[in-house]
Amino acid sequence: MLSSSTSTAAILDASRLPLPLSRPFLFRPGASSACLAERRMRPLTEEETRALFERLSKYIGENIKLLVDRPDGTYCFRLHNERVYYVSEKILKLATSIAREKLVSLGTCFGKFTKSQKFRLHITALDYLAPYAKYKIWVKPGAEQSFLYGNHVLKSGLGRITENTNQYQGVVVYSMSDIPLGFGVAAKSTQECRKLDPMAIVVFHQADIGEYVRHEETLT
């Protein structure tokens, strides 16, 4: 599972020595030495894995294990530039020959770790969330547009919702023609939704596929 070549690792280890001025190109102002190490592509640490899986399990529950144990080859998570990529071992091997600063992306980007070490899912993870999602809601065609512009889903736009969805449960948002549009968090449980004001929020917006057009620069 160890990814990068020994020479790169050696250089990076050297950078941890208290001689940052001798290697100014490795030194980012304002970044701790721990952050320096994170710029290298590497497997996730224990805490990072826990943060990632906690977040993922909000949407797909125990289906996470389907992501990890796949019949069509070994897949793994890799951290590169504070982003988490989900990638097949074969492709990972190819990527190891690319220099760190020249590598832009590999496989699928799931999200990134914020400065406070919380994990944030990106819309690019939708391809893996949607098929395994446990709780879904469907929005009416009229409300599709609104959601794709980054707005919350209102009761008036709610088409269907999975039974026994709890409040603050992660849900995947679908259009009525079963196209996954994004994901968010249920603002109310299914029971509460029944007797809700039409303008009340049902799902808090987190990410939607409109971001492919709106935020192409900051997508991953």
Partner 1 sequence: MGRKLDASRKEKRGPGRKSRKQKGAEAELAHFLAADVPASKRLCSRSRRRAAKRCQELPTPVDKANADHQELSAPQDKKKDFHQKPITGKKTHEMQHQKASILGFSDENAEWLTLAKRKRLQSEESKEEECPELGYGSEEDSVSDNEHLSLGSGDAEEMVDDYGTSSNSESEQLPIEKAARKLKLLQEKKGSRQGSSSRDDNDDAVASDLALNMDVEEAFVLPSSQAIQEISLHPTDLHVIHQRIRDNVEVLQNFATRREAERTRQEYLTLLRKDLAVYFSYGDYLIEKLMELFPVSELVDFLEANEVQRPMTIRTNTLKTRRRDLAQVLINRGVNLDPLGKWSKTGLVIYDSSVPIGATPEYLAGHYMLQGASSLLPVMALAPQENEKILDMCCAPGGKTSYIAQLMKNTGMILANDANTERLKSVVGNLHRLGVTNTVVSNYDGRQFPKVLGGFDRVLLDAPCSGTGVISKDPMIKTNKVEVDLQRCAHLQKELLLSAIDSVDANSETGGYLVYCTCSITVEENEWVTEYALKKRNVKLVPTGLDFGKEGFTRFRERRFHPSLKLARRFYPHTHNMDGFYVAKFKKFSNMIPKLVKEVDSVLATEPTSLDIPAAVAAPAAKQVKNSKDQGLEVNEQFNGLSPAQHKTGVKCKRKSAMQKRLHRKSTAGKAKKHMYKKFKKGN
Residue 10 CB, nearest approach to partner 1 (Å)? 20
User: Residue 108 or 169: which CB sits closer to partner 1?
Assistant: 108
Instruction: Enumerate binding residues for partner 1 (CB under 8 A).
Output: 87-88, 90-91, 94-95, 97-99, 102-109, 124, 127, 144, 148, 175, 177, 179-181, 209-210, 212-213, 216-217, 219-220
User: Residue 47 or 127: which CB sits closer to partner 1?
Assistant: 127
Structure tokens at 75: 């897949």
* Dihedral sign computed on CA atoms, order 51, 98, 213, 181: negative
User: Residue 76 or 103: which CB sits closer to partner 1?
Assistant: 103
Among 74, 84, 81, 128, which residue's Cα sits nearest to residue 110? 84
User: Residue 85 or 193: which CB sits closer to partner 1?
Assistant: 85
User: Residue 125 or 193: which CB sits closer to partner 1?
Assistant: 125
Helix (H) or strand (E) holding 119: strand 119-121
Kindly give, in sequence order, each residue whose CB lies less than 8 Å from that of residue 51, ignoring residues fewer than 6 positions away.
113, 117, 118, 119
Residue 133 CB, nearest approach to partner 1 (Å)? 15
> Three-class SS of residue 14?
helix
Amino acid symbol at 134: K
Which CA distances in Å does 210 have to 44, 110, 206?
29, 17, 12
Residue 34 CB, nearest approach to partner 1 (Å)? 25
Q: What are phi and psi of 33, to 5 degrees?
A: -65, -30
Structure tokens at 16: 């941890």
Residue 124 CB, nearest approach to partner 1 (Å)? 4
Residue 168 CB, nearest approach to partner 1 (Å)? 26
